[in-house]
Amino acid sequence: MKKYLTLATLVIIITCCTHVAVHGQTRVVKKGSTHDTIIVKHAPPVKKPVPKPVVKKEPPEIILPTPEFINQPYYYEKDRNKLIRLENANALMATKKKTLGLKGAKQSLSMDGATSKIRFTEKKEIEFIIKTSGDVIDLTSYIKLYQFIPTEQKREVTINSKEGLLANKDEAKGRLVSFAVKLIAKDNYMIQLPEQLEAGEYGFVWVKNMELKEFTVFSFGIDWKSSD
């Protein structure tokens, strides 16, 4: 064995020593506990549907019935939207002079029967519908509503009364009842009473021609009391 090392052998020895030195200085670092980062993905906000506007349903339009015959008032039953014919009665016009006219004169309508077959017993609003021929300008000047007074199986109302030279103690029978008229359709009118009627006998009279001796009365009766 040669005492002197060759150059190549020396290089190898130096390289090995360097490698051992480097590895001798390397520290092993222990890994600690690792924490995973959790990424929470928030879902996008749920869009609530926009509520539709509430549309109020209008009540169905009520078509009013039309009278079958003209110039005749019909009772309008609002609950059933129905027309009911009134009783037709003939009334005679009579003019009475008292004491040769010295106590005046009275013109009255009188019809048979003390009561009407058409009765109203429940206290509620009473309305009538009438259809005209189309030539009516002011309905209240053509048709009148009278309260008749029962007497001796008849119903009577004083239409006109004229005082004479002497005092007239006789009182007029019955009275004229006012009412309002509302146009609801062409040639169709609603007759509305401004106040509750008292118990008694009533009738509509078509007075377009007052020279007649006989008239048709569309009558009805009321049985409730004013205190009801």
pLDDT tens-digit series, residues 98-118: 655 455 678 899 999 999 999
CB neighbours of residue 102 within 10 Å: 11
Give pLDDT, residue 76: 96
**Residue that wins the pLDDT comparison between 209 and 151:** 151
pLDDT band at 208 (very low <50, low <70, confident <90, very high): confident
Confidence (pTM): 0.68
Cα separation, 153 vs 113, whole angstroms: 5
Give pLDDT, residue 41: 63
Type of residue found at 150 = P
Collapsing DSSP to helix, strand or coil, 6 comes out as: coil
Give pLDDT, residue 23: 46
Cα separation, 130 vs 88, whole angstroms: 14
Instruction: Say if 7 falls within a structural domain.
Output: no
Question: pLDDT, tens digit, for every residue of 131-152?
Answer: 998 887 788 888 999 999 998 8
Instruction: Say if 178 falls within a structural domain.
Output: yes
User: Which domain does 86 fall in, by range?
Assistant: 74-222
- Strands 214-222, 119-120: pairing kind: parallel
Instruction: Say if 14 falls within a structural domain.
Output: no
C-alpha 122, offset from chain centre = 21
Contact partners, residue 221, CB within 8 Å, separation at least 6: 115, 116, 118, 119, 120, 200, 201, 202
Choice among 88-92, 190-194, 217-221 with the minimum mean pLDDT: 190-194
Choice among 10-19, 128-137, 180-189, 200-209 with the minimum mean pLDDT: 10-19
In the chain, how many domains are there? 1
Instruction: Say if 146 falls within a structural domain.
Output: yes
Instruction: Say if 47 falls within a structural domain.
Output: no
Contact partners, residue 73, CB within 8 Å, separation at least 6: 86, 128, 129, 130, 143, 191, 204, 218
What is the percentage of the chain residues whose pLDDT exceeds 90? 42
Instruction: Say if 99 falls within a structural domain.
Output: yes
Contact partners, residue 216, CB within 8 Å, separation at least 6: 88, 89, 90, 91, 205, 206
Instruction: Say if 102 falls within a structural domain.
Output: yes
Mean pLDDT in residue range 189-212: 87
Instruction: Say if 16 falls within a structural domain.
Output: no
Question: pLDDT, tens digit, for every residue of 10-47?
Answer: 556 655 555 544 444 444 445 555 555 666 666 677 77
